[in-house]
Chains A and B, each alone.
Chain A
Amino acid sequence: ETGVTQTPRHLVMGMTNKKSLKCEQHLGHNAMYWYKQSAKKPLELMFVYSLEERVENNSVPSRFSPECPNSSHLFLHLHTLQPEDSALYLCASSPRLAGGIRDTQYFGPGTRLTVL
């Protein structure tokens, strides 16, 4: 496979469930990102990882827990979510993450999450 892949593509879960979203990039990039996309709202950056180290957490509730075991894989662990967390969750990667470096982010297809 090439590019950025995400699984599952669709997920329906209850508020008491625990689930995980997976992202894998095949581009040799060193930085990875989680975004949330809700209807009629701009993409919201959630987490940023560079070389498996978290460099930014945009005040995301603790019911979202990211994990980056290596530079190719990124997970988003979900537990006790709320209905308002229903959205499209997008993963992206870029070659590098350094101040002032202009790097293009490439996105995966997203996971459509519905919380009942």
Chain B
Amino acid sequence: EDQVTQSPEALRLQEGESSSLNCSYTVSGLRGLFWYRQDPGKGPEFLFTLYSAGEEKEKERLKATLTKKESFLHITAPKPEDSATYLCAVQVREETSGSRLTFGEGTQLTVNP
């Protein structure tokens, strides 16, 4: 059974304090790994897709990396507006639903000013 585990469950940082969020996965036939940001009461907002081990993508203060077993979302010098829940999802090979995503439970990030 495909599994996606995110850690930590919650993370509190001071503004400017860099850290990383982890997403570990156990799936057969990974097609892609997705990171989303979700603000309270809103839908997930797409951030990155990673397709192969060694790949990295950056957007402002965020950098996502991928290995064969896990992905990291690095946050450099975070600001209070980076506070949100960050969701990781994996896409696996399927015959009927090629865009099926399996989500982790998310990491709730709070950045204090």
Count of chain A residues with a beta carbon within 8 Å of a chain B beta carbon = 32
Q: Are A42 and B46 in contact (CB under 8 A)?
A: no
Give Cα distance in the complex from A55 to B49, angstroms. Answer: 24
User: Closest chain B residue to A98 by CB distance?
Assistant: B98
Size of the B side of the interface (Cβ < 8 Å), in residues, is: 30
A33 to B32, CA, bound (A): 18
Whole-angstrom CA separation of A11 from B65 in the bound complex: 39
* A77 CB within 8 Å of chain B: no
Decide if A56 touches B97 in the complex (CB within 8 Å).
yes
Complex CA gap A110/B38 in Å reads: 11
Residues 42-61 of chain B: 1 if any A CB is under 8 Å from the residue's CB, otherwise 0? 11111001010000000000
Asked if residues B49 and A102 are in contact (CB atoms below 8 Å), the reply is yes
Select one of B42, B51, B95 contacting A102, CB under 8 A.
Answer: B51
Q: Which residues on A are within 8 Å of B, measured CB to CB? A: 4, 6, 31, 33, 40-43, 45, 48, 55-56, 88, 90, 92, 94, 96-110, 112
